[in-house]
Amino acid sequence: MNHNRLLTKMSILAFFVLLLVMCAPLQPTPTATSTTKAPEEIKEWDYVVFGDSSTWGFPTYYASYMEKDLGVKVTIHNKAVGGQSAADILRRLRIDESLRKLVSEAEVVTLIGNSNPSLGDTVESLEKYIEWQEQPSWDKDCMMDNDSYRLPGDCSPEIFERYIRDLEAIIEEILSLRNGSPTIIRAMDYYMPLYSEWKEWGIQEECTCCWENFNNAIHQAAAAYNVPVARVYDAFNGPNHDEDPREKGYIGDDGEHTKEAGQKVIADLMRELGYKPVTPE
């Protein structure tokens, strides 16, 4: 065999193979696929606060808990007014269109309102309110300076029937405005900051009975619609309702309203109720 001729043929073959490789179309470089997911959009919730001065402070902490626990952004709409009664809240809910629209869009509502009659917005309602102010009643005897050490007026459960109807009507309005949308509705009962004064005046037994009947009315109205209630009275005044929340550091310098420690306790109680929407039976 002629080795020179064989080498020549092999060289020619190698040249053509190299030429074919060089002329072949280039394959695109695979693009790396990203495994990072786009961030989920944070839901925005509206939170409406109804109540009187007993609500001061705690909604901020409660909203913060919701944001942490549920991963939502909460906007607080605080409609609490000092001295506001359940009757006044109900009246506003029925006539204030901007408030009705706000509630219709609110995923969360917290509620408390005292048992006083409505101040109203007419001369007649104002006259009735003034007349009530001038009459003796259990709440004025137990909530204001009682220099005469007068025993409180009638505070039997029957006295709170109108109050219960007002609270139930408020819940009905909220549910109606929400029109079936999931809604977290929570209520709270009332702490009593004046227990030491009751003892000083010698009326602690009578006023404790009145206060328990008052708070029982709140629980009764809420239970009719499966609305959970934060037991603020037990937390502040003890399970037997014979403790002074001032001594626990829950009440501010004015002797009546909560300071930061007390506000956090209320928010904690609300958080412990969970976030299940209200579903009336």
Cα(256)–Cα(254) distance, integer angstroms = 6
Residues contacting 211, CB < 8 A, separation 6+: 142, 190, 192, 233, 241
CA distances from 89 to 115, 155, 159, 229, 239 (A): 11, 22, 19, 18, 29
| Position 134 confidence tier, pLDDT thresholds 50, 70, 90 | low
Residues contacting 203, CB < 8 A, separation 6+: 141, 142, 146, 149, 150, 151, 152
Is the pLDDT confidence value at 33 over 70? no
Average pLDDT over residues 243-248: 97
Of residues 121 and 80, more confidence is placed in 80
Is the pLDDT confidence value at 263 over 80? yes
Average pLDDT over residues 16-30: 46
Is the pLDDT confidence value at 158 over 50? yes
Orientation of helix 260-272 relative to helix 58-70, angle to 10°: 40
Phi then psi dihedrals of residue 158, to 5 deg: -65, -30
Average pLDDT, whole number, for the chain?
A: 85
Q: Give the model's pLDDT for residue 153.
A: 82
Q: Give the model's pLDDT for residue 125.
A: 64
Is the pLDDT confidence value at 15 over 70? no
Per-position b or e across 231-241, b if 16+ CB within 10 A of its CB? bbbbbbbeeeb
CATH number assigned to the domain with residue range 43-127+159-193+213-272, chosen from the 4 options 3.90.190.10, 3.30.1360.70, 3.40.50.1110, 2.60.40.10: 3.40.50.1110
CA angle 105, 64, 187 (to 5 degrees): 60
Average pLDDT over residues 82-89: 93
Q: Give the model's pLDDT for residue 146.
A: 58
Q: Give the model's pLDDT for residue 13.
A: 47
Contact 187, 218 (CB under 8 A): yes
| pLDDT per position as a tens digit, 93-130 | 999 999 999 999 999 999 999 998 766 666 566 666 66
Q: Which residues pair with 85 in a beta bridge?
A: 114
Contact 99, 109 (CB under 8 A): no
Is the pLDDT confidence value at 31 over 80? no
